[in-house]
């Protein structure tokens, strides 16, 4: 289920996210898809923050949806963004990459982030 957000709600969401990112109050989920992306572009947490996360803006917002994967923990929402980034792969080649970023506010009020190349 998708939620309709106004421009001001999207702006508020991005503001919250930027605050969490600036304060290093986020976690990148270590799953295979994310790990492959991080390895391919030689990204550690500080480079992810600099090259991708701090570039998120209202214009990158795709949707906010109910997170069915966490039904047992209550109703949570995830926000999805696609961010165009200039990244260098492990061969040293620079390219423009559309990066899919999914953000979830967990119980500790931290942003939990899924990050990989966009499939769209």
Q: What is the largest CA-CA distance in the chain?
A: 44
For residue range 94-111, what is the model confidence (pLDDT) as tens digits? Answer: 999 999 998 887 656 666
Domains defined along the chain, listed by start: 2-117 (3.30.2310.40)
CA distance 23 to 17: 10
- The larger pLDDT score, comparing residue 15 to residue 112, is at 15
44: tokens are: 């550690």
| Residue 39 reports pLDDT greater than 60 | yes
Contact, 37 vs 104, CB < 8 A? no
For residue range 48-93, what is the model confidence (pLDDT) as tens digits? Answer: 999 999 999 999 999 988 777 665 545 577 889 999 999 999 999 9
Q: What's the confidence (pLDDT) of residue 71?
A: 57
């Amino acid at each position: 289920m998708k939620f309709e957000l106004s421009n001001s709600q999207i702006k508020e969401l991005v503001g919250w996210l930027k605050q969490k990112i600036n304060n290093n109050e986020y976690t990148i989920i270590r799953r295979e898809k994310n790990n492959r992306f991080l390895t391919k572009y030689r990204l550690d947490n500080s480079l992810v923050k600099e090259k991708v996360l701090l570039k998120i803006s209202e214009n990158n917002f795709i949707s906010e949806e109910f997170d069915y994967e966490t039904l047992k923990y209550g109703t949570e929402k995830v926000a999805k963004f696609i961010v165009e980034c200039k990244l260098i792969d492990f061969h040293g080649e620079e390219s423009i990459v559309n990066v899919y970023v999914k953000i979830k506010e967990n119980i500790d009020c931290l942003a939990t982030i899924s990050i990989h190349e966009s499939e769209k």
